Amino acid sequence: MGSAVPAALRGRDGHITERTPMIEYNFEGIAKAAAEVEAGGDHLEAVKRWLPQILEPQIHNIQTPIASTKKLKAAVFNMEQGHYSSLVSAYFKFAPHLKDVDVILANEIDCGMARTGNRNVADEIARALGMNYVFANEFLSRKAYSEGNETGLHGNAVFSRYPIKRATVVELDVEYDWFHWESDPRLGLRNAVLAEIEVDGHIIGLVSVHLENRTSPEGRRRQLATVFDAVDQYFGASTPILLGGDLNTNGFTARGGVGPELRWLADNPGEQWAWMGSVPEHEPIFELAASRGYDYAGCNVMNKPTRRNVIKDGSIVLLNLDWFFSRGLECSHPLRVESIFRSKVLVEPDADYSGLTGQEMSDHDVILVEAKTAS
């Protein structure tokens, strides 16, 4: 095996007819970046120096542009690495509430990881749904090209039926350094991917963001403040924005494992719904968003579970982690769709999916909203 992985397509607007190659990097870069971080160097600077390729947005406009409509229907979905991406694609093609989605703001997508068959999950989903996409890598596993892995990448994406005009990646403040996670040390940082599309003659900025779970509510506020600053710099302060993702709004401080708050919620399932409904009281990102001109109440079903957290003793804790924030848009019809596969709801499916009913497609549910530019 040589020192370089298969070459990736770098064109930002090129038409692609084959499976999109994965991101290119070399093993020397991994070793040098890791050594720098281990010696106490700045994590982001080390990656920029030795592995800049994994920080670049990978834009692929692979579909013919569609006729523009007045409204944009968007989904937020943490796909849990993409273990069941074929079921995800089927649900977004044939389930009534999902089959007309124009945009998906997606988190936790693998590219070249053994746990998901070393597939390029974003590319597979985009082709199955007839969508364009931009992938932004968050983490490069130190187990890349070992233990059955190929490129070992994992990140966020924006899928769109409209062409992606441009995109960038925003690296977030380090609230927990995953390089020091014993079971799977990683190079890279939490991020947000910003993508520009045009709908009905209006430029709209899309933002898919994944905030840190292993931090405090104040740590998440710092990360989202970085995103808001980057949005203003990249799109301008007046561009309509639809931001969404897994914001990990559990309402408490976590550093891994089962902390006292999670244990309390597991032991008191009747309190979980009240906790979900009070998330804005515990997470300062909501006050921050309002102060920066973003709405959230009109974009979301406020008191809903979007995450099924199964802890080691088998207890299930329902949490409210996934959100939309909008600026300069009129939002309506917020909805949550449970990510448990139900073959009976599919409309004119292309195959018999009945044997897969009950399969969990992700540990997160899908949230939806319709948006149009303010008149």
Q: What is the pLDDT confidence band of residue 24, given thresholds at 50, 70 and 90?
A: confident
- Virtual CA dihedral for 351, 357, 361, 364, nearest 10 degrees? 140
| Euclidean distance between CA atoms 192 and 289, whole angstroms | 16
Contact criterion met (CB below 8 Å) for 156 and 245 = yes
Q: pLDDT tens across 185-229, in order? A: 999 999 999 999 999 899 999 999 999 999 999 999 999 999 999
| Euclidean distance between CA atoms 90 and 208, whole angstroms | 22
Number of other CB atoms surrounding residue 303 within 10 Å: 13
Q: What is the pLDDT confidence band of residue 19, given thresholds at 50, 70 and 90?
A: low
Q: pLDDT tens across 301-346, in order? A: 999 999 999 988 889 999 999 999 999 999 999 999 999 999 999 9
| % residues pLDDT > 90 (the chain) | 83
Domain boundaries, the chain: 27-373
Find the farthest-apart pair of alpha carbons in the chain and give their distance in angstroms, rounded: 58
Closest CA to 101 of 79, 121, 131, 124: 131
Q: Which two tokens stand for residue 331?
A: 């939002």
Contact criterion met (CB below 8 Å) for 277 and 211 = no
Q: pLDDT tens across 39-79, in order? A: 999 999 999 999 999 999 999 999 877 777 888 999 999 99
pLDDT at 18 over 60: no
Specify the CATH class of 27-373 in words.
alpha beta
Contact criterion met (CB below 8 Å) for 192 and 170 = yes
Q: pLDDT tens across 253-284, in order? A: 988 777 898 999 999 999 999 999 999 999 99
Q: pLDDT tens across 96-105, in order? A: 999 999 999 9
